[in-house]
Chains A and B, each alone.
Chain A
């Protein structure tokens, strides 16, 4: 159950370590995106709500620039057919999802660290709430972008199409996460943020279920 997706994950991981394509380009993308924001702000102090919003803007665009690799690289190298022969669709999806979840966690941790270092108003009052939001948001982001990446790869790897297709799907997640991030800045207690947390958790569950059920149709030609 776990062993086969893990094997696929290890394959992706070692091929990533060999080329370091995703890691390098994502790291550079994060630096570029944050410096563009810092340049445009200049010497002004921006408000908390703007900081929280910009945090998720950078997360969204970084995800859009890097997460499609999971499936697009298989199509580019022509290994998708082999993968189809040796592994069940659910295994392939689990493996790719695991890889993307870990990638999203790494890149978002870096973004959060950079934000707390570079932005004055990025002060989290309620850290547990921020952590839970961060965890649930990352899982939802990874789930939705993995299934869209699979669609994109089959559609002929159109780079510009990826954010176009992902944005409406991710919109409820991002809006709620921005709200929750602001709550954690304000120091809102858990009980008051219960409804928003339930929305994000529900989104994760629904997106994971739908992706697992629909992946078969995408993967089988």
Chain B
């Protein structure tokens, strides 16, 4: 219970600080954010957009880890864990796509321009969608678990291409791309310490939130499974 209150306070603080703290040319007070060329006032989305994108990847990773575990141990609980992670992953993936598109509208002038990062998040969205399409097409529980685990592992090996390779060969607008000159690696040196603090607090807060939701998700899936089996037997 105590950590739920802590989480509530943390996310409330991050939301208020992220939205309300001013961006100025030369920060003098601790609550002022520096002016980052190329990002300007849009820089504030960093506190909400980056955590959603991060959680998309974390959810995909947890889903893959538990898929791998399922293939080794054949325990259906692992499949429920992988499925719950994928369910959360697609929600955060949609959120990251939408917040990114809104940001792109104001920073680059159009909602969608096939920037490498946009291409990769789109591919991740397609992977999640394909995974759910595959799951819904199979009746048998074991078969569904095995095939979706195999598919998510195959999809996982292509992820390095999207995250590390695509942004380096395609011209991009997103901070951190190959030909990026002004916005550069934002996290490393463009942020001041208070901005970094809030950024990392936001990441931590959202990550705890994710793991909480994930636990609730897989527990309810496992319970539902158990009740179904009881109904069939009784």
Q: Is B157's CB within 8 Å of the partner chain A?
A: yes
Q: Is A126's CB within 8 Å of the partner chain B?
A: no
Q: A155-B137, A155-B138, A168-B130 are in contact. Are A206 and B147 (CB under 8 A)?
A: no
Provide the residues of chain B in CB contact with A196, threshold 8 Å: 169
Main SS at interface, chain B = helix
Q: Is B151's CB within 8 Å of the partner chain A?
A: yes
Provide the residues of chain B in CB contact with A151, threshold 8 Å: 134, 147, 150-151
Main SS at interface, chain A = helix
Per a CB cutoff under 8 Å, which of A155, A176, A199, A218 touches B134?
A: A155
Provide the residues of chain A in CB contact with B146, threshold 8 Å: 217-218
Q: Is A17's CB within 8 Å of the partner chain B?
A: no
A154 and B154 contact, CB distance less than 8 A: no
Q: Mark B147-174, 1 if CB is under 8 A from A, else 0.
A: 1011101110110011001101110000
How many Å from the CB of B83 to the closest CB on chain A? 16
How many Å from the CB of A186 to the closest CB on chain B? 15
> Which A residue's beta carbon lies closest to that of B125?
A168
Per a CB cutoff under 8 Å, which of A171, A176, A199, A218 touches B147?
A: A218
Q: Is A195's CB within 8 Å of the partner chain B?
A: yes
A11 to B193, CA, bound (A): 67
Q: Is A169's CB within 8 Å of the partner chain B?
A: yes
> Which B residue's beta carbon lies closest to that of A198?
B165
Q: Count of chain A residues with Cβ under 8 Å from any Cβ of B? A: 31
A168 and B123 contact, CB distance less than 8 A: yes
B147 and A155 contact, CB distance less than 8 A: yes
A147 and B154 contact, CB distance less than 8 A: yes
A161 to B130, CA, bound (A): 8
How many Å from the CB of B72 to the closest CB on chain A? 10
Q: Is A88's CB within 8 Å of the partner chain B?
A: no
Q: A151-B150, A199-B161 are in contact. Are A168 and B138 (CB under 8 A)?
A: no
Q: A168-B158, A207-B157 are in contact. Are A195 and B169 (CB under 8 A)?
A: yes
How many Å from the CB of B216 to the closest CB on chain A? 28
Q: Is A210's CB within 8 Å of the partner chain B?
A: yes
Interface residues of A in 137-180 (CB under 8 A from B): 144, 147-148, 151, 154-156, 158, 161, 164-165, 167-169, 171-172, 175-176, 179
Q: Is A125's CB within 8 Å of the partner chain B?
A: no
Per a CB cutoff under 8 Å, which of B124, B149, B165 touches A199?
A: B165
Interface hub of A144, A179, A210 (most chain B Cβ within 10 A) = A210
Per a CB cutoff under 8 Å, which of A161, A167, A211 touches B137?
A: A161
A206 to B124, CA, bound (A): 18
A165 to B148, CA, bound (A): 11
Give A residues with C-beta under 8 Å from B: 144, 147-148, 151, 154-156, 158, 161, 164-165, 167-169, 171-172, 175-176, 179, 195-196, 199, 203, 206-207, 210-211, 214, 217-218, 221
Give B residues with C-beta under 8 Å from A: 71, 119, 123-124, 126-127, 129-130, 133-134, 137-138, 143, 146-147, 149-151, 153-155, 157-158, 161-162, 165-166, 168-170
User: What are 19 A-B pairs at a CB distance below 8 A?
Assistant: A144-B154, A151-B151, A155-B137, A161-B137, A165-B134, A165-B151, A168-B123, A168-B124, A168-B127, A171-B119, A172-B123, A172-B166, A175-B119, A199-B169, A203-B161, A207-B154, A211-B154, A217-B149, A218-B150
Would you list the 9 A-B pairs with minimal beta carbon distance, nearest first? Answer: A172-B161, A168-B126, A168-B127, A210-B157, A165-B130, A214-B150, A164-B130, A168-B123, A171-B123
Q: A154-B143, A199-B169, A206-B157 given; name 8 further pairs at CB < 8 Å.
A: A155-B138, A155-B147, A169-B154, A172-B161, A179-B169, A207-B157, A210-B153, A217-B149
